[in-house]
Structure 1
Amino acid sequence: MQADGVAVYSFFLPGADLLQVAEISRIHRDADRGGLRGFQRREIRDHVRSITAFLDSAPSVLFPNAVLLAVTPRASFVRSRGEKPAGEVRAAEAGTLYLPKPSAEGEPKAAWVIDGQQRCLALAQARNRALPVPVVAFASEDLALHRQQFILVNKAKPLSSRLIDELLPEIAGDLPRDLAPRRVPSALCDQLNMDPASPFHGIVRRPSDPGNGGPGRPSAGAGVVIDSALLTLIRSSISSPLGALAPYKGSGDRPTDADAMYRVLLAFWSAVRDTFPEAWGLPPGRSRLMHSAGLLSMGCLMDRIMSRAGGSGEPRRFAREALGRIAPYCHWTEGHWAEIGLGWNEVENTSRDVRALSDHLARLDHQATFARAVA
């Protein structure tokens, strides 16, 4: 019992049975008076499909996430008889909960989903219809209380995308379809940050970083590159058919070759550091090369240059020579990008600025490569 005599129950149900006993009360307005009804948001179909795909990904999956229901006070609870178990904490009673069934089609069900509607919808579609799902329920038909609990459960800020990305490489098991493709880029980002041979060694800001580099990291310039920019350029290169990392993406029975991806990243970004030493490792306010806009634009250039470096035998040298030909026209720490009408410190992480700078770097590379080929 909680609050002023509100019964709270904890039990298991087969996942496919949840929506047979519980309603999803969606928020809407009366057509006549405009009064507010329900409280649940609309179904998020991509989310439901992702959960269903995870539930169907293996014969047996771990799915301990409890669904929160409100049940009618007409539900009856019968305590179990017999000897109490040793060490029992008298916070609850064991027994059987009986939920009334609708006597006719269209009558209200005995429960309402407070939290977990997307999971309930996915469980109803999953192949394993007998998967036992934990349920916590409180006895109340008071819509105001339902809404209060719905808001309290959902008001918390969701996990940041950056925190999820940093945790993904540490998870060995199966992941939902929307998370699995993010594991390899995050592992590559970790490797770039932790490998002493990497130009990014110790200068990538991740959620676990206390802010000043952390133990064992260099104090000068530590944490100047935000991980989200690196993750974005890596993902883009993997997913684009013309990306430099795309040839090493897993397909069918062929696994992803993360080692080959890392060698490409190491060769190109080492060449970037070699070509622009005066701009490397500085805070973004002093070097737009280390700014998200600069990193994303150079990521597009990486795809162009490293896609041509395959037969060179020395990809780092190849990238350094290609970058050297455009270096005189780059303005990372001073000057003005005349062709795109921006000063060096006016380039921001907006889609317009990133696209303009990416296109300009691509034109410089094309012009330098074409002139060399003609010569």
Structure 2
Amino acid sequence: MADRYDIRVPALQVRQGDRHIFCFGIDGKRLLDFTTVSRVRRSSEGSLDGYQRPEVLSHIRAIRRYVESPEAMLPNAIVLALDGRVRFEPSRQFSAVDYSIPGELVIPVDETIDEADKPGLLVDGQQRVAAIRDADIDAFPVAVVAFIADGQDEQRSQFILVNNTKPLPKGLIHELLPDSAGYLPPKYARRKLPAEVMIRLNIDTDSPFCGAIATPTSPDGRIKDNSVLKMIENSLYDGALYQYRNPEDGTGDIEQMVLHLKIFWKLIAEMWPIEWTLPPRKSRLTHGVGIQSLGYVMDMLTDNHTADQLPGSGLERRLDGLQDVTAWTAGTWDLGPDDQRRWNSLQNTPTDIKLLTKVLAAAVRVRKPIS
């Protein structure tokens, strides 16, 4: 077989609004000839590449055993994003409806190019394709639905939409949101801006959170991404970061938001340098209850200050009041009359977050207001 050739498959072009999708059948073992699995990762510059979740080997083995059985059937379509090298050639066959046109999809295959340069990307069906690839069978035809994508931003958006009703890892969604384009469900659209701010905190080398937030591209992070996201989201909609947000269209001044957060949290990290480096099971400072409670303290102390006004404002003096009331890694929390608890008994619950916030807020109120 030549290094370069075309795969031609009978297909239907189906019009959906101003876009088209292509429906066809193909031997599943041939999909990887022209399709790649782009797993989520970050370049050395911090930009996001790819969008797929890692393969789950146990799930693939289970699908493979099923595919090798005589009764095997995979009725759900594989979803592909194709680039402009793929073309559709309509046939002259009569169609009973104007939105569906029969023809052939022409897919170029070049065995000499790198995996990342193939014309197709798997949006949904990664584990099924891997199982078929490994199965001890000669062929296994599958149904495919494909679309022509304008770029990786659209591919990421489609990946989120396609997987919206599935148990997709939240961490992967959070990592993809900042680089997604087009329509997103409301619950994801609300988190797109907080996710963008969080990613900046995690990749900027001058950030106290640099590499500390656990995400698919930062698996060694000690702080849960959802804890930081909630802290940012609370501040964006009802706190100090609100001043940088445009409530009309949901956009915001990312640079000022990130700077504001860096200034505050750098002071926190310097105040408790050991506690800040420990995982949540050893330090309530990096636990969800600590991150969110201190986020509310940040809002209370800096709500009327821009990021440029924070240096030299006396914020450090106010935060000194926290030293006497905190028990991040040892000791006892005094949460009120008859409510004294061991340091690690606080949990990431609304009740405990509210109680801890009240204690921390009282400690900084007794200090001189920042100028």
TM-score by length of 2: 0.54
Instruction: Give deviations 1:260-302, integer Å, cap 9, x for gaps.
Output: 1111101100011111123111111111000111101111111
Match of 2:234 in 1: 236
User: Residue 260 of structure 1: SS of its match in structure 2?
Assistant: helix
Instruction: Give the alignment of 1:1-375 within 5 angstroms.
Output: 12=14, 64=21, 96=95, 157-173=166-182, 175-209=184-218, 211=219, 213=220, 223-240=221-238, 243-252=239-248, 256-310=252-306, 313-315=309-311, 318-339=314-335, 340-369=339-368
Structure 1 runs of 4+ with >6 Å offset: 153-156
Q: CA deviation at 1:234?
A: 0.4
Shift in alpha-carbon separation, 1:299–1:172, aligned structure 2, 3 A: same
Q: CA deviation at 1:14?
A: 5.9
Whether contact under 8 Å (1:309, 1:319) holds in the other structure is: no
Whether contact under 8 Å (1:248, 1:261) holds in the other structure is: yes
- Long gaps (5+) in structure 1: 1-8, 16-59, 67-86, 99-134, 137-152, 214-222
Whether contact under 8 Å (1:168, 1:186) holds in the other structure is: yes
Which piece of structure 1 moves more, 310-319 or 264-273? Answer: 310-319
Structure-1 separation of matches of 2:198 and 2:252: 16
User: Residue 276 of structure 2: SS of its match in structure 1?
Assistant: coil
Shift in alpha-carbon separation, 1:308–1:334, aligned structure 2, 3 A: farther
Q: CA deviation at 1:64?
A: 5.0
Whether contact under 8 Å (2:202, 2:212) holds in the other structure is: yes
Q: CA deviation at 1:320?
A: 2.0
Instruction: Give deviations 1:333-367, integer Å, cap 9, x for gaps.
Output: 11101224221111111111111111221122223
Q: CA deviation at 1:195?
A: 1.1
- Long gaps (5+) in structure 2: 1-10, 24-86, 98-143, 146-161
Shift in alpha-carbon separation, 1:238–1:65, aligned structure 2, 3 A: farther
Structure-2 separation of matches of 1:155 and 1:255: 23
Instruction: Give deviations 1:310-334, integer Å, cap 9, x for gaps.
Output: 4983437633221112212211111
User: Residue 208 of structure 1: SS of its match in structure 2?
Assistant: coil
2:193 partner amino acid: V
Whether contact under 8 Å (2:317, 2:367) holds in the other structure is: no
Shift in alpha-carbon separation, 1:94–1:154, aligned structure 2, 3 A: farther
Shift in alpha-carbon separation, 1:333–1:308, aligned structure 2, 3 A: farther
User: Residue 158 of structure 1: SS of its match in structure 2?
Assistant: coil
User: How many residues end up aligned between the 2 structures?
Assistant: 234
Structure-1 separation of matches of 2:361 and 2:243: 21
Structure-2 separation of matches of 1:156 and 1:175: 13
2:207 partner amino acid: S
Structure-1 separation of matches of 2:310 and 2:287: 28
Instruction: Give deviations 1:116-161, integer Å, cap 9, x for gaps.
Output: xxxxxxxxxxxxxxxxxxx98xxxxxxxxxxxxxxxx999843233
Shift in alpha-carbon separation, 1:10–1:195, aligned structure 2, 3 A: same
Shift in alpha-carbon separation, 1:63–1:235, aligned structure 2, 3 A: farther
Per residue, is there more strand in 1 or in 2? 2
Shift in alpha-carbon separation, 1:14–1:164, aligned structure 2, 3 A: closer
Q: CA deviation at 1:309?
A: 4.2
User: Residue 284 of structure 1: SS of its match in structure 2?
Assistant: coil
Structure-2 separation of matches of 1:270 and 1:155: 36
2:172 partner amino acid: L
Shift in alpha-carbon separation, 1:64–1:367, aligned structure 2, 3 A: farther
Structure-2 separation of matches of 1:288 and 1:188: 23
Whether contact under 8 Å (1:271, 1:317) holds in the other structure is: no
Shift in alpha-carbon separation, 1:176–1:63, aligned structure 2, 3 A: farther
Whether contact under 8 Å (1:271, 1:316) holds in the other structure is: no
> % of aligned pairs identical?
31
2:358 partner amino acid: D
Shift in alpha-carbon separation, 1:11–1:304, aligned structure 2, 3 A: same
Q: CA deviation at 1:176?
A: 4.6
Larger radius of gyration: 1
Structure-2 separation of matches of 1:63 and 1:244: 44
Q: What value does the CA root-mean-square deviation take over the aligned residues?
A: 3.9
